[in-house]
Amino acid sequence: MHTTALVLFSGGQDSTTCLAHALSRYQRVETMGFDYGQRHRVELQARLKVLEEIRQQFPDWAHKLDQDHVLDLAVLGTVSETSLTRDTAFKMEASGLPNTFVPGRNLLFLTLAAAVAYRRGLEVIVTGVCETDFSGYPDCRDDTMKAMQLALSLGMDKRFLIETPLMWIDKADTWRMAQDLGGQALVDVIVEHTHTCYLGDREHRHAWGYGCGTCPACELRQRGYEKFTAA
Q: What is the pLDDT of residues 111-170, one digit of tens each?
A: 999 999 999 999 999 999 998 865 678 888 999 999 999 999 999 999 999 999 999 999
Sheet holding 28-35, edge to edge: 65-72, 28-35, 4-8, 124-126, 161-163
pLDDT band at 197 (very low <50, low <70, confident <90, very high): very high
Average pLDDT of 43-48?
Answer: 92
Residue 53 confidence (pLDDT): 98
Do 198 and 217 meet the contact criterion of CB atoms below 8 Å apart?
yes
Strand partners, 208: none
Q: Report d(CA 178, CA 172) in Å as an integer.
A: 10
Q: Please give the C-alpha separations between residue 19 and each of 112, 135, 224, 229, in angstroms, as whole numbers.
A: 18, 22, 19, 22
What average pLDDT does this structure show over 18-24? 98
pLDDT of 21: 98
The secondary structure of the chain in percent helix, strand, coil, rounded to multiples of 5, reads 50, 15, 40
pLDDT of residue 222: 97
CATH number where 62 lies: 3.40.50.620
pLDDT tens digits along 76-120: 767 665 544 445 544 455 555 555 566 778 899 999 999 999 999
What pLDDT score does 219 carry? 93
Q: Are strands 28-35 and 209-210 parallel, antiparallel or unpaired?
A: unpaired
How many other C-beta atoms lie within 10 A of the C-beta of residue 159? 10
- Whether the Cβ atoms of residue 195 and residue 35 lie closer than 8 Å to each other: no
Q: CA-to-CA distance for 170 and 88, rounded, in angstroms?
A: 28
Domain count, the chain: 1
Please tell me the distance from the alpha carbon of residue 131 to that of residue 129, in angstroms, as a whole number: 7
Q: Show the domain range for 220.
A: 4-230
Alpha helices for the chain (secondary structure H): 13-25, 43-57, 59-62, 74-79, 105-120, 142-156, 171-193, 216-230
Residues 210, 201 contacting (CB under 8 angstroms): yes
205-230 pLDDT, tens digit each = 999 999 999 988 899 999 999 999 99
Q: What end-to-end distance do the CA atoms of the chain give, in Å?
A: 36
What mean pLDDT do residues 172-201 have?
Answer: 96
Q: Which CA distances in Å does 129 have to 27, 56, 116, 143, 188?
A: 23, 27, 19, 12, 22
Instruction: Please tell me the pTM assigned to this model.
Output: 0.90
